[in-house]
Structure 1
Amino acid sequence: MSTLLKFFTIGLAIIAFVSSAEEQAKPIVEWSPATPVFSQKYDWLKLKSGEWLKGDIISMYDDELEFDSKEFDTHTFDWEDVDELRSRYDKQIRFDSGEVKQGFLIVKEDHVVIISNGKEQHYPLSDLLSITSAADDRKGFWSGKISLGIDIESGNTNQVNYTVSSNIERVTPYTSFNVDYTFNYSKSRVGDVTQVVTNNSRLTAYIDWFYSYRIFFRVFDFEYVQDLQQNIENRNTLGVSLGYHFINNKRLKWDMTLGPSYQQTEYYNTVVDNNQTSAVIALSTAVDYSITSRIDFLIDYQLQFVKEDSGKRNSYFKASFEYKIHHDFDLDLAFVLNRVAKPVVNEAGEIPKPNDYQLITSLSYNF
C-alpha cells in the first residue's frame, strides 16, 4: 500500500511540473482597451492614458482643449494629454501660418486631418494653433465669468462693501472680443450719519485681430471709468493699438499693446472746465501664469499718458490669484491700484489723493 502511495505522489508531482512549464511557456498578452464604435452623435476624445470620452468639442486655444463630456460635464485638458480627437461637425482650424481651414477634424499620430467636400488634407500637428466651432450659434465661441464679493463690518462703525465684476469673451480663429466690468460700492454709518466711502465703476471692451501667432492688432479699444472719490463723473477713452505675444504657452501667457487713443473726461465739480479732452498714448500688459492646475496668477497693468488737465498719467494695476474650488467656481483674491498722477482740484479746493487701493476677496462662477 505504501508503494502505491509513493507512485501516486510522484505522479501528482510530475503533472504539477508539466502544468507549470506549460503556463510559463504561454506568451504574456497585454490588455488594451477596445476602440469604440464612433457614433456620429458625438465628438470623440482619447487621452494619453487610453481613456475615451464622448461629448462635444468646445474649443482648443492656447494649448488647452475644452471638452463637454456626456458623463463628466465640461473639462479643460492640456493639449499634450490628448492622443486622438474626432469631430462630428465642421470645425474651423487655424494654423500657425494664419491659414484657416474648415471641415471634419481628426487629430491622430501627430497629424491633423481635415475632411471637406470628400477630400482629405493633412497637416503636421505642430502647426495647429486653434480649433473653434464653424457654426456662429454654437456655444463654443463664448465664455464668461461673474464674481461677487461682500464685506460687512459692525460695531462702532457699520460698513458694507460690495464688489461685482464680470467678463465675457468670444474667441474665433481670427479674432478675440473681450468685455470686463467692475463695480465697487461701500458705505459706512456712525450713529445716524451715513457716508458713501467708495463708488466707482470701470468697463473695458476690445477686439483683437490675430495677424500671426505673435502679432495682433487691437482694432477697437474702449474704456469707461466713473470714480466719485477721484471726482470723475465719467471718463471715456477710445483708441487702437498694436499687440505682441512675448510668451504664449500652456503655462504662461504674456502680451503687450501700445497705441494712440482719444480721451474725454467730465468731473463732478472743479475750478476749471468740467469737460476735458486729451490725446492719449496707451500702454498695457497682461500676464497669466498657471502655478498649478488649480491656481492661476494674473497681472493686468494699463498706463495712459494724457494732458495735465486730464490727470497727466492715469494707471490701473491688478494682481490676482484664482483658486479653482470646482470646475465652475473660483475663489479670487485681488489687489487693485487706481492712480491719477495729478488729480483735479474740486470747487471746495480739495485735491483727491492720487492712489486708491483695494484688497478684494470674491467668489466667481464660470460659464
Structure 2
Amino acid sequence: MGLICRRVPLLLLATFAGVATASAQMDAEPRRDQAAPDTSVVVGKDENGLMKAYTIEFGDEKDWIQLLSGEWLRGNVERMRDARLDFHSDEIKEITYDWKKVQQLHSPKANTYRFTDGTKLVGPAMINKELVTVQTETGIAMRKRSELNAILEHTPREGDYWSTVLRVGLTANAGNTENLSFNAFWLLVREDSLTRTALSYDGTFGTADRTEVANRHLGSGEVNVFVYPGIYVIAANAQLLYDKFQNVRLRATPAAGAGFQLIATYVVDWKL
C-alpha cells in the first residue's frame, strides 16, 4: 500500500513572540532515525518585528502519537476517554495507552475534543504536554491539555454513535447422554463526547437427556456521564434477572454511583 501525503495547514495568531514560540515548539523533537510526522513551522513577523503567525503542516492524512520513550506511531485515534487512548495501526492493530504516557498527538482529521467545562471543539488538532490546539471552522482555539476530557470521532450522523456486539454459541453431543447448551450475548452502546449508554443481554439455556438443566437470562443497562478525565458519574444502572434453577423469577436491581479509572493500559484496565 502506498503512502498518500497531504498537507493540512493550521494557522495560529499570537501577540507576543514568547507565546507563539512556546506554542510552535513541541516538547520533544522526533527521533530522526524513525518514521515521524513531517511537521514544518513557518514564522511571520509584523511591522514591529514581533512574531504574529505561524503555520504547522501535517505530513500525511494519518494520526501520529509520540510516547514517553520518544517513539512515534502512525495510525488512527479511535477515542480518548477514561484517561486512556485507544489507537489503531496496521502493525499493532488496536492498543490502549495511558493518556499520561502520550507526549504528543498530531491529528489532521476533524475529531471532537471535549473539555471539563462541558465545551467542545471540532477540527484538526495538535496536542503537546501543555496545550490542545484545534483548527475550528471559526479559527484557531487553544486550551490547556489538563482540561481535555475526551477525544471522539466527529460525525454528523446519529448512526455513527451506535455500536453493537452479538455472540451466539451452541454445543450439542449425543451418546449415552444427550446434552444441549445454548448461550447468547448482545451489547448495544451509544457513545458521544459526554455520555455512554449501554444495554446488554446475557442468556443461557441447557438440557441433559432432554431435561432442562439451565435457564438464566440477565438484562442490564447503564448510563455514564464523563465529568473529568478518568472520572465518571453512573447516572443510572439497572439489572433484570430471571433464573429458573435459583428460584429467581424476576429480580430488579437499580443503582447509581461514580467511577474512577485507576489504571488504564493495554495489559490492565482497573476501574473503581
Q: TM-score range by the shorter chain?
A: 0.5 to 0.7
Q: State the AA in 2 paired with 1:84.
A: Q
- Please say if residues 132 and 141 of structure 1, whose CA atoms lie closer than 8 Å, have aligned partners that are also in contact: no
- Please say if residues 222 and 236 of structure 1, whose CA atoms lie closer than 8 Å, have aligned partners that are also in contact: no
- Aligned with residue 229 of structure 1, among 232, 245, 252: 245
Match status 1:67 vs 2:87: yes
Deviation at 1:150, TM superposition (A): 6.0
Deviation at 1:137, TM superposition (A): 4.0
- Aligned with residue 81 of structure 1, among 96, 101, 104: 101
Structure-2 residue corresponding to 1:218:
235
Deviation at 1:208, TM superposition (A): 3.1
Match status 1:243 vs 2:257: yes
Deviation at 1:130, TM superposition (A): 1.1
Q: 1:137 to 1:56 in 2, by over 3 A?
A: farther
Q: State the AA in 2 paired with 1:243.
A: G
Q: 1:66 to 1:137 in 2, by over 3 A?
A: farther
- Aligned with residue 112 of structure 1, among 132, 148, 154: 132
Q: 1:137 to 1:183 in 2, by over 3 A?
A: same
Q: 1:54 to 1:135 in 2, by over 3 A?
A: same
Q: Deviations over 1:9-37 (max 9, x none)?
A: xxxxxxxxxxxxxxxxxxxxx96446433
Deviation at 1:211, TM superposition (A): 5.1
Q: Aligned equivalents of 1:168 and 1:244: distance in 2?
A: 21
- Please say if residues 132 and 140 of structure 1, whose CA atoms lie closer than 8 Å, have aligned partners that are also in contact: no
Q: Aligned equivalents of 1:78 and 1:212: distance in 2?
A: 15
Deviation at 1:47, TM superposition (A): 2.8
Deviation at 1:149, TM superposition (A): 5.9
Bigger-Rg structure (1/2): 1
Q: 1:164 to 1:154 in 2, by over 3 A?
A: same
Aligned pairs for 1:138-157 (under 5 A) are: 141-142=161-162, 144-147=164-167, 157=177
Q: Aligned equivalents of 1:119 and 1:174: distance in 2?
A: 23
The alignment partner of 2:245 has SS state of: coil
- Please say if residues 121 and 136 of structure 2, whose CA atoms lie closer than 8 Å, have aligned partners that are also in contact: no
The alignment partner of 1:89 has SS state of: strand
Match status 1:209 vs 2:222: no
Q: Aligned equivalents of 1:205 and 1:157: distance in 2?
A: 38
Q: Aligned equivalents of 1:101 and 1:94: distance in 2?
A: 7
Q: Deviations over 1:180-224 (max 9, x none)?
A: 1101111001xxxx21111121222233334556463625x5544
Q: State the AA in 1 paired with 2:182.
A: Y
How many residue pairs get aligned? The number is: 222
Q: Deviations over 1:103-159 (max 9, x none)?
A: 322112332112213533322222222111121449974555455566667765443
- Aligned with residue 124 of structure 1, among 144, 154, 166: 144
Structure-1 residue corresponding to 2:5:
none
Q: TM-score normalised to the size of structure 1?
A: 0.50
Unaligned runs of 5+ in 2: 1-30, 39-57
The alignment partner of 1:80 has SS state of: helix
Q: Aligned equivalents of 1:174 and 1:128: distance in 2?
A: 12
Structure-2 residue corresponding to 1:169:
189
Q: 1:184 to 1:58 in 2, by over 3 A?
A: same
The alignment partner of 1:88 has SS state of: strand
Structure-2 residue corresponding to 1:198:
214
Q: 1:121 to 1:112 in 2, by over 3 A?
A: same
Q: State the AA in 1 paired with 2:126.
A: I
Q: Aligned equivalents of 1:47 and 1:140: distance in 2?
A: 29
The alignment partner of 1:109 has SS state of: coil
Structure-2 residue corresponding to 1:187:
207
Over the residues paired in the alignment, what is the CA RMSD in angstroms?
3.7
Among all aligned residue pairs of Structure 1 and Structure 2, give the percentage whose two residues are the same amino acid.
22
Q: Aligned equivalents of 2:94 and 2:75: distance in 1?
A: 9
Structure-2 residue corresponding to 1:36:
37
Q: Aligned equivalents of 1:186 and 1:248: distance in 2?
A: 37
Q: State the AA in 2 paired with 1:184.
A: T
Q: TM-score normalised to the size of structure 2?
A: 0.64
The alignment partner of 2:61 has SS state of: coil
Match status 1:49 vs 2:69: yes
Q: Aligned equivalents of 2:59 and 2:247: distance in 1?
A: 62
Q: State the AA in 2 paired with 1:75.
A: I
Q: Aligned equivalents of 1:216 and 1:186: distance in 2?
A: 38
Q: Deviations over 1:90-114 (max 9, x none)?
A: 2221223333332322112332112
- Please say if residues 58 and 140 of structure 1, whose CA atoms lie closer than 8 Å, have aligned partners that are also in contact: no
Q: State the AA in 1 paired with 2:129.
A: E
Q: 1:100 to 1:44 in 2, by over 3 A?
A: same
